[in-house]
A and B are shown apart, each in its own frame.
Chain A
Amino acid sequence: MNILVCISKAPDTTSKIAFTNNSTQFDENGVQFIVNPYDEWYALVRALELKETIGGNVTIVTVGTATDEAIIRKALAIGADEAVRIDADPKDAYFVAMQVASYAKAKGFDLVMTGKETINYNGSQVGGMIAEAMDLPFVSLATKLDANGTKLTLEREIVGGVQVVEVQTPAVISCAKGMAEQRIPNMRGIMAARTKPLTVIPAEAVEDLTSYVTYSMPNAKSSVKMIDPSNMDELVALLHNEAKVI
Protein backbone atom coordinates (compact mmCIF):
# COMPACT_ATOMS: atom_id res chain seq x y z
CA MET A 1 0.00 0.00 0.00
CA ASN A 2 1.28 3.39 -1.04
CA ILE A 3 0.61 5.81 1.82
CA LEU A 4 1.01 9.57 2.10
CA VAL A 5 1.20 10.97 5.65
CA CYS A 6 0.70 14.72 6.07
CA ILE A 7 2.77 16.24 8.86
CA SER A 8 2.83 19.73 10.29
CA LYS A 9 5.22 21.40 12.67
CA ALA A 10 3.82 22.53 16.01
CA PRO A 11 5.29 24.15 19.10
CA ASP A 12 6.31 21.67 21.81
CA THR A 13 3.37 21.13 24.20
CA THR A 14 5.23 22.86 27.06
CA SER A 15 5.95 26.02 25.01
CA LYS A 16 5.11 29.39 26.44
CA ILE A 17 2.58 30.98 24.11
CA ALA A 18 3.24 34.64 23.27
CA PHE A 19 2.64 36.94 20.32
CA THR A 20 4.70 39.58 18.62
CA ASN A 21 4.43 42.25 15.91
CA ASN A 22 1.50 43.99 17.59
CA SER A 23 -0.14 40.66 18.52
CA THR A 24 -0.45 39.57 14.89
CA GLN A 25 2.19 36.81 14.90
CA PHE A 26 3.10 33.84 17.08
CA ASP A 27 6.38 34.58 18.85
CA GLU A 28 8.71 31.73 17.79
CA ASN A 29 11.52 33.08 19.95
CA GLY A 30 12.86 30.23 22.10
CA VAL A 31 10.14 27.84 20.94
CA GLN A 32 11.07 24.23 20.24
CA PHE A 33 9.13 22.81 17.26
CA ILE A 34 8.04 19.19 17.06
CA VAL A 35 6.06 17.07 14.61
CA ASN A 36 2.40 17.70 15.46
CA PRO A 37 1.66 14.82 17.90
CA TYR A 38 -1.49 13.60 16.14
CA ASP A 39 0.40 13.42 12.83
CA GLU A 40 3.38 11.61 14.34
CA TRP A 41 1.99 9.33 17.06
CA TYR A 42 -1.11 8.20 15.24
CA ALA A 43 -1.03 8.81 11.46
CA LEU A 44 2.67 8.14 10.81
CA VAL A 45 3.11 5.22 13.21
CA ARG A 46 -0.04 3.43 11.96
CA ALA A 47 1.11 3.98 8.35
CA LEU A 48 4.44 2.34 9.22
CA GLU A 49 2.71 -0.58 10.95
CA LEU A 50 0.56 -1.15 7.84
CA LYS A 51 3.66 -1.07 5.65
CA GLU A 52 5.39 -3.57 7.94
CA THR A 53 2.48 -6.03 7.75
CA ILE A 54 1.28 -5.71 4.14
CA GLY A 55 4.20 -4.00 2.40
CA GLY A 56 4.30 -0.72 0.52
CA ASN A 57 5.80 2.69 0.88
CA VAL A 58 5.29 5.60 3.29
CA THR A 59 5.90 9.14 2.06
CA ILE A 60 5.59 12.15 4.34
CA VAL A 61 4.61 15.57 3.05
CA THR A 62 4.64 18.97 4.72
CA VAL A 63 3.97 22.47 3.47
CA GLY A 64 6.66 24.61 5.03
CA THR A 65 9.92 26.47 4.79
CA ALA A 66 13.51 25.18 4.99
CA THR A 67 13.41 25.55 8.80
CA ASP A 68 10.97 22.60 8.87
CA GLU A 69 13.65 20.15 7.76
CA ALA A 70 14.44 19.21 11.38
CA ILE A 71 10.95 17.85 11.95
CA ILE A 72 11.00 16.16 8.53
CA ARG A 73 14.21 14.31 9.49
CA LYS A 74 12.58 13.28 12.77
CA ALA A 75 9.65 11.73 10.86
CA LEU A 76 12.11 9.97 8.54
CA ALA A 77 14.02 8.68 11.58
CA ILE A 78 10.81 7.12 12.91
CA GLY A 79 10.66 5.15 9.67
CA ALA A 80 9.08 6.97 6.69
CA ASP A 81 10.75 6.06 3.38
CA GLU A 82 10.88 9.47 1.78
CA ALA A 83 9.78 13.06 2.32
CA VAL A 84 8.42 15.90 0.26
CA ARG A 85 8.45 19.52 1.34
CA ILE A 86 6.19 21.87 -0.56
CA ASP A 87 8.02 25.16 -0.27
CA ALA A 88 5.82 27.87 1.27
CA ASP A 89 5.15 29.59 4.59
CA PRO A 90 1.51 28.53 5.05
CA LYS A 91 -1.04 30.75 6.80
CA ASP A 92 -4.30 29.07 5.84
CA ALA A 93 -5.65 25.49 5.95
CA TYR A 94 -7.20 25.77 2.47
CA PHE A 95 -3.84 26.78 1.01
CA VAL A 96 -2.14 23.77 2.65
CA ALA A 97 -4.84 21.32 1.58
CA MET A 98 -4.75 22.50 -2.05
CA GLN A 99 -0.96 22.03 -2.18
CA VAL A 100 -1.10 18.52 -0.71
CA ALA A 101 -4.10 17.48 -2.84
CA SER A 102 -2.38 18.62 -6.02
CA TYR A 103 0.77 16.64 -5.18
CA ALA A 104 -1.18 13.55 -4.03
CA LYS A 105 -3.38 13.55 -7.16
CA ALA A 106 -0.33 13.55 -9.40
CA LYS A 107 1.30 10.66 -7.49
CA GLY A 108 -1.80 8.48 -6.96
CA PHE A 109 -1.58 7.26 -3.34
CA ASP A 110 -3.86 4.51 -1.98
CA LEU A 111 -4.24 6.25 1.33
CA VAL A 112 -3.72 9.79 2.62
CA MET A 113 -3.44 10.11 6.41
CA THR A 114 -3.49 13.20 8.64
CA GLY A 115 -3.66 13.81 12.39
CA LYS A 116 -7.10 14.81 13.68
CA GLU A 117 -5.93 18.41 14.19
CA THR A 118 -2.78 20.39 14.91
CA ILE A 119 -2.13 21.43 18.49
CA ASN A 120 -1.50 25.06 17.50
CA TYR A 121 -4.49 25.99 15.32
CA ASN A 122 -6.78 23.08 16.25
CA GLY A 123 -8.94 23.54 13.14
CA SER A 124 -9.40 19.89 12.04
CA GLN A 125 -9.60 21.29 8.52
CA VAL A 126 -6.84 19.97 6.27
CA GLY A 127 -7.88 16.28 6.03
CA GLY A 128 -11.45 16.99 4.95
CA MET A 129 -10.30 19.67 2.53
CA ILE A 130 -7.80 17.29 0.87
CA ALA A 131 -10.55 14.66 0.54
CA GLU A 132 -12.92 17.10 -1.15
CA ALA A 133 -10.23 18.47 -3.46
CA MET A 134 -9.39 14.88 -4.51
CA ASP A 135 -13.06 13.80 -4.57
CA LEU A 136 -12.29 10.91 -2.19
CA PRO A 137 -14.11 9.44 0.82
CA PHE A 138 -13.05 10.85 4.19
CA VAL A 139 -13.17 9.05 7.53
CA SER A 140 -12.43 11.46 10.35
CA LEU A 141 -11.32 10.85 13.96
CA ALA A 142 -10.35 7.25 13.23
CA THR A 143 -9.06 5.30 16.25
CA LYS A 144 -8.33 2.00 14.42
CA LEU A 145 -7.40 1.20 10.83
CA ASP A 146 -6.88 -2.13 9.08
CA ALA A 147 -6.42 -2.80 5.39
CA ASN A 148 -7.40 -5.84 3.35
CA GLY A 149 -6.73 -5.38 -0.37
CA THR A 150 -8.61 -2.25 -1.40
CA LYS A 151 -10.92 -2.41 1.61
CA LEU A 152 -10.22 -0.38 4.77
CA THR A 153 -11.92 -1.23 8.06
CA LEU A 154 -11.89 1.56 10.62
CA GLU A 155 -13.17 2.50 14.02
CA ARG A 156 -14.07 6.16 14.46
CA GLU A 157 -15.32 8.34 17.27
CA ILE A 158 -18.96 9.37 17.12
CA VAL A 159 -21.06 11.37 19.58
CA GLY A 160 -21.13 9.24 22.73
CA GLY A 161 -19.45 6.14 21.31
CA VAL A 162 -17.55 4.51 18.46
CA GLN A 163 -18.50 3.13 15.10
CA VAL A 164 -16.95 0.48 12.83
CA VAL A 165 -17.00 1.44 9.15
CA GLU A 166 -15.69 0.16 5.83
CA VAL A 167 -14.47 2.21 2.92
CA GLN A 168 -12.64 1.50 -0.37
CA THR A 169 -9.23 2.94 -1.20
CA PRO A 170 -8.19 5.47 -2.24
CA ALA A 171 -9.38 7.41 0.80
CA VAL A 172 -8.38 10.13 3.25
CA ILE A 173 -8.26 9.33 6.99
CA SER A 174 -7.77 11.65 9.98
CA CYS A 175 -6.26 9.85 12.96
CA ALA A 176 -7.01 10.20 16.68
CA LYS A 177 -5.75 8.61 19.88
CA GLY A 178 -5.92 4.81 19.93
CA MET A 179 -4.64 4.37 16.37
CA ALA A 180 -1.07 3.50 17.38
CA GLU A 181 1.54 4.01 20.09
CA GLN A 182 4.25 6.65 19.92
CA ARG A 183 7.61 5.38 18.57
CA ILE A 184 10.91 6.79 19.71
CA PRO A 185 13.44 6.84 16.84
CA ASN A 186 16.53 4.71 17.47
CA MET A 187 20.10 5.54 16.47
CA ARG A 188 19.91 3.43 13.30
CA GLY A 189 16.76 5.29 12.27
CA ILE A 190 18.37 8.66 12.95
CA MET A 191 21.45 7.73 10.88
CA ALA A 192 19.32 6.34 8.03
CA ALA A 193 17.15 9.48 8.00
CA ARG A 194 20.15 11.58 6.95
CA THR A 195 20.35 9.88 3.58
CA LYS A 196 16.68 9.28 2.83
CA PRO A 197 15.33 11.32 -0.11
CA LEU A 198 13.84 14.72 0.74
CA THR A 199 12.38 16.40 -2.34
CA VAL A 200 11.52 20.09 -2.31
CA ILE A 201 8.85 21.16 -4.77
CA PRO A 202 7.53 24.68 -5.41
CA ALA A 203 4.07 25.64 -4.12
CA GLU A 204 1.25 26.34 -6.56
CA ALA A 205 -0.45 29.71 -6.63
CA VAL A 206 -3.48 29.41 -4.34
CA GLU A 207 -5.25 32.30 -2.64
CA ASP A 208 -5.73 32.08 1.13
CA LEU A 209 -9.40 31.99 2.16
CA THR A 210 -8.78 33.02 5.77
CA SER A 211 -6.28 34.95 7.88
CA TYR A 212 -5.67 35.69 11.56
CA VAL A 213 -6.11 39.42 12.16
CA THR A 214 -4.91 39.41 15.75
CA TYR A 215 -4.30 37.18 18.79
CA SER A 216 -4.80 37.69 22.50
CA MET A 217 -4.38 35.80 25.74
CA PRO A 218 -7.52 34.64 27.57
CA ASN A 219 -8.57 36.69 30.59
CA ALA A 220 -6.67 35.62 33.68
CA LYS A 221 -8.72 33.99 36.42
CA SER A 222 -9.27 36.01 39.56
CA SER A 223 -7.66 34.37 42.55
CA VAL A 224 -8.90 31.02 43.77
CA LYS A 225 -11.31 30.85 46.70
CA MET A 226 -10.25 28.12 49.15
CA ILE A 227 -12.93 26.03 50.85
CA ASP A 228 -12.51 24.06 54.07
CA PRO A 229 -12.47 20.33 53.21
CA SER A 230 -14.92 19.61 56.01
CA ASN A 231 -17.44 22.11 54.66
CA MET A 232 -18.64 20.79 51.31
CA ASP A 233 -22.09 22.30 51.84
CA GLU A 234 -20.43 25.70 51.51
CA LEU A 235 -18.85 24.68 48.18
CA VAL A 236 -22.21 23.47 46.84
CA ALA A 237 -23.88 26.70 48.01
CA LEU A 238 -21.20 28.79 46.25
CA LEU A 239 -21.57 26.78 43.04
CA HIS A 240 -25.32 27.41 43.17
CA ASN A 241 -25.56 31.02 44.42
CA GLU A 242 -22.31 32.65 43.33
CA ALA A 243 -21.09 30.70 40.29
CA LYS A 244 -24.64 29.72 39.24
CA VAL A 245 -23.49 26.52 37.54
CA ILE A 246 -25.64 23.99 39.44
Chain B
Amino acid sequence: MVLVYINSTTGLSKAALETVTYGKKLSGDVTVITNGSASNEQLAQLGEYGASKVLVDRSVDGEDPQQLARLVAAVADQVSASTVIFSHDIYGKAVAPRLSVRMKAGLVAGAIAVPEADGSVKVNVFSGKAVGYVKVASSKQIISLLPNSIQPEKTGSVCSVEETNGLAGASAINVLETKKPEGNIPLPEAELVVSAGRGLKGPENWGMIEELATALGAATACSRPVADIGWRPHHEHVGQTGVAIRPNLYIAVGISGAIQHLAGVNGSKVIVVVNTDTEAPFFKAADYGVVGDAFDVIPKLTEAVKRFKATQH
Protein backbone atom coordinates (compact mmCIF):
# COMPACT_ATOMS: atom_id res chain seq x y z
CA MET B 1 0.00 0.00 0.00
CA VAL B 2 1.30 3.42 -1.01
CA LEU B 3 0.30 6.73 0.58
CA VAL B 4 0.91 9.95 -1.37
CA TYR B 5 0.88 13.38 0.29
CA ILE B 6 0.00 16.33 -1.94
CA ASN B 7 -0.61 19.96 -1.13
CA SER B 8 -3.76 21.13 -2.91
CA THR B 9 -4.18 24.59 -1.38
CA THR B 10 -3.78 26.16 -4.83
CA GLY B 11 -5.43 23.37 -6.83
CA LEU B 12 -3.72 20.34 -8.35
CA SER B 13 -0.16 21.15 -9.40
CA LYS B 14 1.72 19.17 -12.02
CA ALA B 15 4.06 18.03 -9.23
CA ALA B 16 1.05 16.56 -7.41
CA LEU B 17 -0.02 14.60 -10.51
CA GLU B 18 3.57 13.35 -10.90
CA THR B 19 3.65 12.00 -7.33
CA VAL B 20 0.32 10.18 -7.74
CA THR B 21 1.54 8.70 -11.06
CA TYR B 22 4.74 7.61 -9.29
CA GLY B 23 2.69 5.97 -6.53
CA LYS B 24 0.68 4.06 -9.12
CA LYS B 25 3.89 2.71 -10.64
CA LEU B 26 4.83 1.29 -7.22
CA SER B 27 1.50 -0.17 -6.15
CA GLY B 28 -2.01 -0.95 -7.37
CA ASP B 29 -3.39 0.53 -4.15
CA VAL B 30 -2.69 4.26 -3.77
CA THR B 31 -4.29 6.49 -1.13
CA VAL B 32 -3.79 10.25 -1.33
CA ILE B 33 -3.80 12.46 1.77
CA THR B 34 -4.12 16.19 1.23
CA ASN B 35 -5.04 19.38 3.03
CA GLY B 36 -6.43 22.60 1.70
CA SER B 37 -9.34 23.91 -0.25
CA ALA B 38 -9.43 22.10 -3.63
CA SER B 39 -12.99 20.98 -4.43
CA ASN B 40 -14.05 17.33 -4.17
CA GLU B 41 -14.53 17.28 -7.97
CA GLN B 42 -10.92 18.40 -8.48
CA LEU B 43 -9.59 15.89 -5.95
CA ALA B 44 -11.61 13.04 -7.51
CA GLN B 45 -9.60 13.59 -10.71
CA LEU B 46 -6.55 12.18 -8.91
CA GLY B 47 -8.19 8.79 -9.57
CA GLU B 48 -7.35 9.27 -13.24
CA TYR B 49 -3.66 9.30 -12.31
CA GLY B 50 -3.89 6.18 -10.15
CA ALA B 51 -5.37 7.10 -6.76
CA SER B 52 -7.86 4.57 -5.32
CA LYS B 53 -9.03 7.01 -2.65
CA VAL B 54 -8.40 10.61 -1.59
CA LEU B 55 -8.54 11.73 2.04
CA VAL B 56 -8.72 15.47 2.68
CA ASP B 57 -8.33 17.41 5.93
CA ARG B 58 -9.77 20.86 5.28
CA SER B 59 -8.95 22.12 8.79
CA VAL B 60 -5.18 22.08 8.10
CA ASP B 61 -3.66 25.03 6.20
CA GLY B 62 -0.41 23.18 5.47
CA GLU B 63 1.87 25.89 6.85
CA ASP B 64 3.23 23.85 9.77
CA PRO B 65 5.27 20.77 8.78
CA GLN B 66 4.85 19.35 12.29
CA GLN B 67 1.07 19.29 11.85
CA LEU B 68 1.40 17.69 8.43
CA ALA B 69 3.82 15.06 9.75
CA ARG B 70 1.28 14.12 12.45
CA LEU B 71 -1.52 13.95 9.87
CA VAL B 72 0.42 11.88 7.32
CA ALA B 73 1.81 9.51 10.00
CA ALA B 74 -1.69 8.88 11.40
CA VAL B 75 -3.13 8.16 7.94
CA ALA B 76 -0.13 5.97 7.01
CA ASP B 77 -0.91 3.95 10.12
CA GLN B 78 -4.65 3.73 9.31
CA VAL B 79 -4.10 2.48 5.77
CA SER B 80 -1.00 0.36 6.66
CA ALA B 81 1.18 2.18 4.13
CA SER B 82 4.64 0.70 3.56
CA THR B 83 5.70 3.58 1.28
CA VAL B 84 4.89 7.28 1.60
CA ILE B 85 5.53 9.59 -1.35
CA PHE B 86 6.03 13.38 -1.41
CA SER B 87 7.08 15.85 -4.06
CA HIS B 88 10.62 17.10 -3.26
CA ASP B 89 9.30 20.66 -3.10
CA ILE B 90 9.03 22.99 -0.10
CA TYR B 91 6.48 20.67 1.51
CA GLY B 92 8.39 17.48 0.87
CA LYS B 93 11.61 19.08 2.13
CA ALA B 94 9.92 20.17 5.37
CA VAL B 95 7.53 17.30 6.12
CA ALA B 96 9.25 14.15 4.78
CA PRO B 97 12.26 14.37 7.18
CA ARG B 98 9.93 14.83 10.15
CA LEU B 99 7.87 11.84 9.01
CA SER B 100 11.02 9.76 8.58
CA VAL B 101 11.79 10.16 12.29
CA ARG B 102 8.15 9.77 13.33
CA MET B 103 7.70 6.49 11.39
CA LYS B 104 11.35 5.43 11.69
CA ALA B 105 11.26 4.98 7.91
CA GLY B 106 14.27 5.67 5.68
CA LEU B 107 13.90 8.71 3.43
CA VAL B 108 15.04 8.81 -0.19
CA ALA B 109 15.19 12.56 -0.82
CA GLY B 110 14.93 13.85 -4.38
CA ALA B 111 14.25 10.64 -6.32
CA ILE B 112 14.53 11.08 -10.11
CA ALA B 113 13.23 7.64 -11.23
CA VAL B 114 11.12 4.69 -10.12
CA PRO B 115 12.98 2.14 -7.94
CA GLU B 116 15.44 -0.23 -9.63
CA ALA B 117 15.00 -4.03 -9.60
CA ASP B 118 17.07 -4.24 -6.38
CA GLY B 119 14.83 -1.68 -4.67
CA SER B 120 17.39 1.14 -4.75
CA VAL B 121 16.25 4.56 -5.93
CA LYS B 122 18.21 6.94 -8.16
CA VAL B 123 18.86 10.45 -6.81
CA ASN B 124 21.03 13.39 -7.85
CA VAL B 125 24.09 13.92 -5.66
CA PHE B 126 26.84 16.55 -5.64
CA SER B 127 24.30 19.09 -6.88
CA GLY B 128 23.60 17.12 -10.04
CA LYS B 129 27.23 16.42 -10.93
CA ALA B 130 26.64 12.70 -10.24
CA VAL B 131 23.84 10.28 -9.41
CA GLY B 132 23.60 7.84 -6.52
CA TYR B 133 21.41 4.84 -5.76
CA VAL B 134 19.88 4.85 -2.28
CA LYS B 135 18.68 1.73 -0.50
CA VAL B 136 16.38 1.90 2.51
CA ALA B 137 17.12 -0.49 5.39
CA SER B 138 13.87 -0.01 7.33
CA SER B 139 10.66 -1.95 6.58
CA LYS B 140 8.84 1.30 5.71
CA GLN B 141 10.19 3.89 3.31
CA ILE B 142 9.56 7.48 2.29
CA ILE B 143 10.40 8.79 -1.18
CA SER B 144 10.35 12.46 -2.20
CA LEU B 145 10.20 12.85 -5.99
CA LEU B 146 12.10 15.68 -7.67
CA PRO B 147 9.60 17.71 -9.74
CA ASN B 148 9.64 17.11 -13.52
CA SER B 149 11.43 13.73 -13.17
CA ILE B 150 8.49 11.74 -14.53
CA GLN B 151 5.42 12.86 -16.48
CA PRO B 152 1.84 12.50 -15.18
CA GLU B 153 0.00 9.58 -16.80
CA LYS B 154 -3.73 9.02 -16.89
CA THR B 155 -4.45 5.35 -16.23
CA GLY B 156 -7.81 5.25 -14.45
CA SER B 157 -11.01 7.11 -13.68
CA VAL B 158 -12.24 9.40 -10.90
CA CYS B 159 -12.05 8.04 -7.35
CA SER B 160 -13.84 8.61 -4.06
CA VAL B 161 -12.99 11.56 -1.80
CA GLU B 162 -13.45 11.39 1.97
CA GLU B 163 -13.03 14.05 4.61
CA THR B 164 -10.85 13.42 7.65
CA ASN B 165 -9.97 15.60 10.63
CA GLY B 166 -8.68 15.61 14.18
CA LEU B 167 -5.40 13.85 13.32
CA ALA B 168 -3.09 16.86 12.89
CA GLY B 169 -3.12 18.66 16.27
CA ALA B 170 -2.46 22.38 16.62
CA SER B 171 -0.22 24.54 14.41
CA ALA B 172 2.87 26.14 15.99
CA ILE B 173 3.49 28.47 13.05
CA ASN B 174 1.61 31.74 12.81
CA VAL B 175 1.47 33.14 9.26
CA LEU B 176 1.59 36.96 9.24
CA GLU B 177 1.81 37.62 5.51
CA THR B 178 2.08 35.81 2.17
CA LYS B 179 3.69 37.63 -0.75
CA LYS B 180 3.14 36.00 -4.14
CA PRO B 181 3.88 37.98 -7.27
CA GLU B 182 0.94 37.42 -9.62
CA GLY B 183 1.38 35.68 -12.93
CA ASN B 184 4.93 34.44 -12.39
CA ILE B 185 5.66 30.79 -13.07
CA PRO B 186 7.42 29.30 -10.00
CA LEU B 187 10.94 28.42 -11.14
CA PRO B 188 11.23 24.89 -9.66
CA GLU B 189 8.04 23.82 -11.46
CA ALA B 190 8.70 25.54 -14.77
CA GLU B 191 9.07 23.33 -17.85
CA LEU B 192 10.71 26.09 -19.88
CA VAL B 193 13.25 28.50 -18.41
CA VAL B 194 15.06 31.49 -19.91
CA SER B 195 18.10 32.50 -17.88
CA ALA B 196 20.65 35.27 -18.24
CA GLY B 197 23.96 36.29 -16.74
CA ARG B 198 26.51 39.07 -16.62
CA GLY B 199 26.69 39.07 -20.42
CA LEU B 200 23.56 41.23 -20.33
CA LYS B 201 25.64 44.09 -18.88
CA GLY B 202 22.92 45.58 -16.66
CA PRO B 203 19.49 45.01 -15.06
CA GLU B 204 17.87 47.43 -17.51
CA ASN B 205 18.49 44.92 -20.31
CA TRP B 206 16.29 42.18 -18.84
CA GLY B 207 13.27 43.34 -20.84
CA MET B 208 14.25 41.22 -23.83
CA ILE B 209 14.72 38.15 -21.59
CA GLU B 210 11.25 38.67 -20.15
CA GLU B 211 9.81 39.11 -23.63
CA LEU B 212 11.34 35.85 -24.79
CA ALA B 213 10.07 34.11 -21.63
CA THR B 214 6.58 35.50 -22.19
CA ALA B 215 6.57 34.39 -25.83
CA LEU B 216 7.57 30.86 -24.77
CA GLY B 217 5.48 30.71 -21.59
CA ALA B 218 8.73 30.24 -19.66
CA ALA B 219 9.98 31.26 -16.21
CA THR B 220 13.01 33.57 -15.87
CA ALA B 221 16.20 32.75 -13.98
CA CYS B 222 19.71 34.13 -13.54
CA SER B 223 23.27 33.24 -12.63
CA ARG B 224 24.78 33.83 -9.19
CA PRO B 225 26.80 37.00 -9.92
CA VAL B 226 23.69 38.67 -11.25
CA ALA B 227 21.72 37.87 -8.07
CA ASP B 228 24.66 38.86 -5.86
CA ILE B 229 24.99 42.32 -7.38
CA GLY B 230 21.24 42.81 -7.11
CA TRP B 231 20.30 42.89 -10.80
CA ARG B 232 17.77 40.12 -10.19
CA PRO B 233 16.04 38.71 -7.06
CA HIS B 234 17.76 35.87 -5.17
CA HIS B 235 14.94 33.41 -5.81
CA GLU B 236 15.84 33.47 -9.53
CA HIS B 237 19.43 32.34 -8.88
CA VAL B 238 19.97 28.84 -10.27
CA GLY B 239 23.12 26.88 -9.55
CA GLN B 240 24.87 24.94 -6.86
CA THR B 241 24.09 27.43 -4.09
CA GLY B 242 20.80 28.61 -5.59
CA VAL B 243 17.85 26.67 -6.95
CA ALA B 244 18.48 23.37 -8.77
CA ILE B 245 16.08 22.93 -11.66
CA ARG B 246 15.41 20.31 -14.34
CA PRO B 247 13.14 21.90 -16.92
CA ASN B 248 12.51 20.46 -20.39
CA LEU B 249 14.23 23.48 -21.96
CA TYR B 250 16.87 25.76 -20.43
CA ILE B 251 17.99 28.74 -22.50
CA ALA B 252 21.15 30.36 -21.09
CA VAL B 253 21.99 33.83 -22.35
CA GLY B 254 25.32 35.47 -21.55
CA ILE B 255 26.23 32.84 -18.93
CA SER B 256 29.71 31.34 -19.30
CA GLY B 257 28.77 28.05 -17.60
CA ALA B 258 30.93 27.81 -14.48
CA ILE B 259 30.82 24.37 -12.85
CA GLN B 260 28.70 25.74 -9.97
CA HIS B 261 26.09 27.05 -12.42
CA LEU B 262 26.03 23.81 -14.43
CA ALA B 263 25.40 21.87 -11.22
CA GLY B 264 22.04 23.57 -10.86
CA VAL B 265 20.85 23.06 -14.43
CA ASN B 266 22.45 19.94 -15.86
CA GLY B 267 19.29 17.92 -15.19
CA SER B 268 17.59 19.98 -17.93
CA LYS B 269 16.45 17.85 -20.86
CA VAL B 270 17.57 20.34 -23.52
CA ILE B 271 20.03 23.22 -23.08
CA VAL B 272 20.41 26.13 -25.51
CA VAL B 273 23.40 28.43 -24.97
CA VAL B 274 23.71 31.92 -26.45
CA ASN B 275 27.13 33.50 -25.90
CA THR B 276 29.53 35.82 -27.74
CA ASP B 277 32.50 33.74 -26.59
CA THR B 278 33.00 30.59 -28.69
CA GLU B 279 35.17 29.24 -25.85
CA ALA B 280 32.45 29.56 -23.16
CA PRO B 281 32.49 26.25 -21.24
CA PHE B 282 28.68 26.16 -21.31
CA PHE B 283 28.76 25.09 -25.00
CA LYS B 284 30.20 21.73 -23.88
CA ALA B 285 27.04 21.08 -21.85
CA ALA B 286 24.66 22.42 -24.48
CA ASP B 287 22.47 20.67 -27.06
CA TYR B 288 22.18 23.75 -29.24
CA GLY B 289 24.56 26.69 -29.35
CA VAL B 290 24.41 30.15 -30.86
CA VAL B 291 27.57 32.25 -31.01
CA GLY B 292 26.38 35.82 -31.12
CA ASP B 293 25.50 38.98 -29.27
CA ALA B 294 22.45 38.53 -27.04
CA PHE B 295 21.22 42.01 -27.97
CA ASP B 296 21.04 40.85 -31.59
CA VAL B 297 20.09 37.18 -31.14
CA ILE B 298 17.41 37.33 -28.42
CA PRO B 299 14.98 39.74 -30.15
CA LYS B 300 15.32 37.60 -33.33
CA LEU B 301 14.65 34.43 -31.31
CA THR B 302 11.61 36.05 -29.68
CA GLU B 303 10.23 36.98 -33.11
CA ALA B 304 10.87 33.44 -34.39
CA VAL B 305 9.05 31.99 -31.36
CA LYS B 306 6.09 34.30 -31.99
CA ARG B 307 5.95 33.25 -35.67
CA PHE B 308 6.06 29.61 -34.61
CA LYS B 309 3.32 30.08 -31.99
CA ALA B 310 1.13 31.79 -34.59
CA THR B 311 1.31 28.67 -36.79
CA GLN B 312 0.25 26.44 -33.88
CA HIS B 313 -3.25 27.88 -33.54
Contacts and interface: CB of A to CB of B under 8 A. Distances in A.
Interface of A: 11, 13-14, 17, 19, 37-38, 92-94, 97-98, 116-117, 119-129, 131-133, 137-141, 143, 153, 157-168, 177-178, 207-218, 221-222, 224-230, 232-233, 235-240, 243, 245-246
A17 B304 CA distance: 39
Contacts of A218: 128-131, 266
Given A94-B101, A166-B173, A124 B63 contact: no
Contacts of A131: 65-66, 97-98
Contacts of A38: 241
B134 A227 contact: no
B269 to A, nearest CB: 6
B118 A246 contact: no
B291 A226 contact: yes
Contact of A138 (B66, B107, B180, B240): B66
Interface of B: 10, 13, 63-66, 69, 88-90, 93-102, 104-110, 118, 120, 124-138, 172-181, 184-186, 188-189, 191-192, 216, 227, 234-235, 237, 240-242, 244, 248-249, 259-260, 263, 266, 269-273, 283-293, 296-297, 300-301, 303-305, 307-308
- List 7 A-B pairs, minimum CB-CB distance, nearest first: A128-B97, A229-B292, A209-B106, A161-B180, A123-B109, A132-B101, A232-B304
Given A119-B126, A209-B136, A211-B134, A163 B178 contact: yes
A94 B130 CA distance: 22
A129 to B, nearest CB: 4
B237 A177 contact: yes
A211 B136 CA distance: 7
B172 A125 contact: no
Contacts of B185: 160
A226 B290 contact: yes
A203 to B, nearest CB: 17
